[in-house]
Amino acid sequence: MLKFALVGNPNCGKTTLFNALTGSTAHVGNWPGVTVDKREGVYKKLEEAVSIVDLPGIYSLSPYTPEEVVARNFVLDEAPSCVINIIDATNLERNLYLTTQLMEIDVPIVIALNMIDEVEKAGDSIDELELEKRIGLPVVKVSALKGSNVDALMQRAYLASKQERKGLTVLCETALEHVINDVRIALKGHGVHNPLFHAIKLIEGDEIEVEMHKETVSMVDDFKEVYKHRVFGTDYEALVADGRYKYIVKHFSPVYKRSKSRSYASEKSNRIDKVLTHKYFGLPIFLVILFSMFHLTFSNDFLYLGAIFKLPTLEDLGLLTNDGEFRNYWVKLLSCFYDGAIFSFGSALNNFWNEIIISEIFGLIKNTVLNSGLSVWAVGLINNGIIDGVMGVLSFLPWILTLFLFFSLLEDSGYMARVAFILDRIFRKFGLSGRAFIPMIMGFGCSVPAIINTRTLADEKEKVATIRVIPFFSCSAKLPILTAISGGIVSFYGVGNADLITYSMYLLGVLVAGAAVLLMRSTSLKGEESPFIMELPSYRMPKFSSTVMLLWDKAKHFIKKAFTIILASTIVIWVLTHFNFSWQFISDDKIDKSILAGIGQIFAPLFTPLGFGSQLGTYGWVFVVASVTGLIAKENVVATLSTLATCLIAVAGKDALGLDLLAEDGVDAVKAMILVTNVSVPALLSFIAFNMTTIPCFATVATAKGELKRRKAFKATMLFWIVTSYLVASMVYLVGTYWWTAFIYLFAFTLTAFIIKFRNKRNKKV
């Protein structure tokens, strides 16, 4: 099959084009370094099917980071039938720098002038026929985003792929001409493929190249010696780069016609950047934006209007019956959006989803099962084992999607790249570059792609440190834990605000990450942070359809997980709690005699210092068990609590708390847990902290193992997660319970910091 490779600078629209050509939904973001590995798809609109390969972005064919090497090697080693060189036309000159290198390879090339819509919007124009003539390669104007002209591009690529092409260089007009030519001929004599390309890279002294053709180094030096009188200076790398730029400016730049009225857009974006990336205000603005996101997602009191204006509740309005039921269906509907306060966007959506959709559907199923005449244990397994577990997880879907929507808007607009820029200054103090921020913030979505993204970090130690802290950026699967527990705390104990608790737990994760990185970078993982150069992409209006696509993908993934891994786990949990060691069925209120209770009680003492161990008595082990099932998938934590909740309500007496057995969601489950175990608020917070920082889910562990090249580093990472979670959770519990222990911790931290500083100083002196 023909193979076309998409090659270009970071953020020039390769993945957008890839999606447009192949109908895939690969991740597109408005910042460099989204794609870190190659990805294949098929384009079917030509005479024959063509395989399209999306590659990580590169600025030059002398790569610095592992993911850039992927792109270079693909072009050189896999001999694609055609290279589609995508160029961000709004940045023509800089993008053509890569083109001048690609054209030295013996491979058919077609140039796609992408983002032509933005060029035209600015009132500029590009003479593509003139460019084609000057550069000697087919040039096609496209807009990957709008899908315009992409089929014409493919036609040109198809034609090009049928012809052989010999490499050419723009350096033939420079003083390097002779040395390049002689080295090229010599390499050709040695049977080297792409001799022109390799000759130039060898002359530059490119690291990979020199490593690959060690035997030729002295020969190249000899040639350099011969032509020494023609060349000014010895920095060949700079000479080559300079030659390329001069050629671009002289021959290619004139094809770009600027309109006079231009730069309005860039002026506007500069003005925005002055505020958003301000030295002092930049960070506070980011924190406020982040908090607004959480507020809009989780708050049950939008802008705190209810609290400020003492808005009336539904009861005050006389909309409830004497037994506290809704007067009619409309009141029930209203209650999803308003009850003494306006619910924020995410919360309203969540109420609607749970009260109107989920509980109705599952309630119907539960009733059908109940009246079907199945045996007691079968009804229990289906209704309480399976449905409660799956429902407990599904009930969080709108919250997850809302938060994801906000993150995706920040990312697509180009703001995230600014945040990386702001944070660079702070990250440097922690021994990381701002680049590390991107995988970290991706961790809020899912740790797996986040860990893969650390390939963009050139320094191995920086990469290891980043991988270790990524799980502390609470992922969407951990969101149910956070919200169910904070919801439980607020509605059972009546303290705090759900959005404030959630936000501070997220922040706690970030703080722990910061402290851990600081510690690692000044002890076991000392090293230079890599230089951080990231261009700021232009601000863009996020595209509606691609945002919807992204959310749809996320929802599909989540629902699939609920009905596979989570379902399987809840069945196992249900069976283990409804049978005793002699495999006799036991009823809901006897679960303290079950197999799981037996096992859980053995481990419970380990968690006593964290507040959810032995001190919780007969049923305390439920928290331990929930944490363990979280190792499979973090959604399991709440699913397990939901599955066990029915049993605990049975223990407490059926109508305790007025918990409706049919309307089981995560928050109700936590309320049941609190009622039966008397677990305290600090212990609940410690439970969140523990699950947030401990060994992440199975998929993340496997990914980390794959990315950490050395076995020892992987083992150390597992240990690091266990120790950190234990320390952090016990600290949350102890400080929350006995406030004065805060001083002990403070003292311990200061002492540690001093010892490290002292040792590092002494080591430096030696």
Please give the residue ranges that form the binding site for ligand GDP (CB under 6 A): 8, 10-16, 28-30, 34-35, 57, 114-115, 117-118, 143-145, 412, 540, 543
**CB 459, min distance to Mg ion, A:** 23
**CB 371, min distance to Mg ion, A:** 54
Which residue, 34 or 489, is less far from ligand GDP as judged by CB? 34
117 binds, among Mg ion, ligand GDP, none (CB under 5 to 8 A by kind): ligand GDP
Which residue, 407 or 690, is less far from Mg ion as judged by CB? 407
User: Which of 545, 654, 461 is closest to 28 using CA atoms?
Assistant: 545
The DSSP secondary structure of 63-90, one letter per residue, reads: --SHHHHHHHHHHHHS--SEEEEEEEGG
Return the bridge partners of 249, or none: none
DSSP 8-state code for residue 122:
T
Which residue, 10 or 613, is less far from Mg ion as judged by CB? 10
User: In the numeric block, which tokens belong to residue 758?
Assistant: 């002292």
**CB 177, min distance to ligand GDP, A:** 33
Reported as half-sphere exposure (CB side, CA atoms, 13 A), residue 18 has a value of 29
10 binds, among ligand GDP, Mg ion, none (CB under 5 to 8 A by kind): ligand GDP
Q: How far is CA 491 from CA 33, 324, 484, 667, 668, in A?
A: 43, 17, 10, 9, 9
**CB 152, min distance to ligand GDP, A:** 14
**CB 403, min distance to ligand GDP, A:** 20
Which residue, 80 or 630, is less far from Mg ion as judged by CB? 80
Which residue, 16 or 350, is less far from ligand GDP as judged by CB? 16
Q: What angle do CA 634, 636, 637 make, to 5 degrees?
A: 80
Which residue, 150 or 622, is less far from ligand GDP as judged by CB? 150
Q: Which residue has its beta carbon closest to ligand GDP?
A: 13
User: In this structure, is the dihedral angle defined by the CA atoms of residues 422, 423, 428 and 433, taken in order, positive or negative?
Assistant: negative
486 binds, among Mg ion, ligand GDP, none (CB under 5 to 8 A by kind): none
**CB 409, min distance to ligand GDP, A:** 11
Which residue, 27 or 671, is less far from Mg ion as judged by CB? 27
Which residue, 15 or 466, is less far from Mg ion as judged by CB? 15
- Please list, in sequence order, all residues whose beta carbon lies within 8 angstroms of the beta carbon of residue 282, skipping any fewer than 6 positions away: 276, 418, 422
Site residues for Mg ion per CB under 5 A: 14-15, 34-35
Q: How far is CA 567 from CA 180, 300, 563, in A?
A: 64, 30, 5
Which residue, 29 or 108, is less far from ligand GDP as judged by CB? 29
12 binds, among ligand GDP, Mg ion, none (CB under 5 to 8 A by kind): ligand GDP
Which residue, 24 or 741, is less far from Mg ion as judged by CB? 24
**CB 129, min distance to ligand GDP, A:** 20
Cα–chain center distance at 131: 39
132 binds, among ligand GDP, Mg ion, none (CB under 5 to 8 A by kind): none
For the chain, how far is it from start to end, CA to CA, in angstroms? 61
540 binds, among Mg ion, ligand GDP, none (CB under 5 to 8 A by kind): ligand GDP
Q: Where are the alpha helices (DSSP H) in 562-620?
A: 567-578, 595-603
The DSSP secondary structure of 320-355, one letter per residue, reads: B-TTS-BSSHHHHHHHTTBSSSBPPHHHHHHHIIII
118 binds, among ligand GDP, Mg ion, none (CB under 5 to 8 A by kind): ligand GDP
**CB 649, min distance to ligand GDP, A:** 49
User: Which of 623, 624, 644 is closest to 570 using CA atoms?
Assistant: 644
13 binds, among Mg ion, ligand GDP, none (CB under 5 to 8 A by kind): ligand GDP
Cα–chain center distance at 353: 26
How many CB atoms sit inside 10 A of residue 324's CB?
9
**CB 96, min distance to ligand GDP, A:** 16
User: In this structure, is the dihedral angle defined by the CA atoms of residues 332, 333, 337 and 341, taken in order, positive or negative?
Assistant: negative
30 binds, among ligand GDP, Mg ion, none (CB under 5 to 8 A by kind): ligand GDP
What's at 370, amino acid-wise?
A: L
**CB 560, min distance to ligand GDP, A:** 25
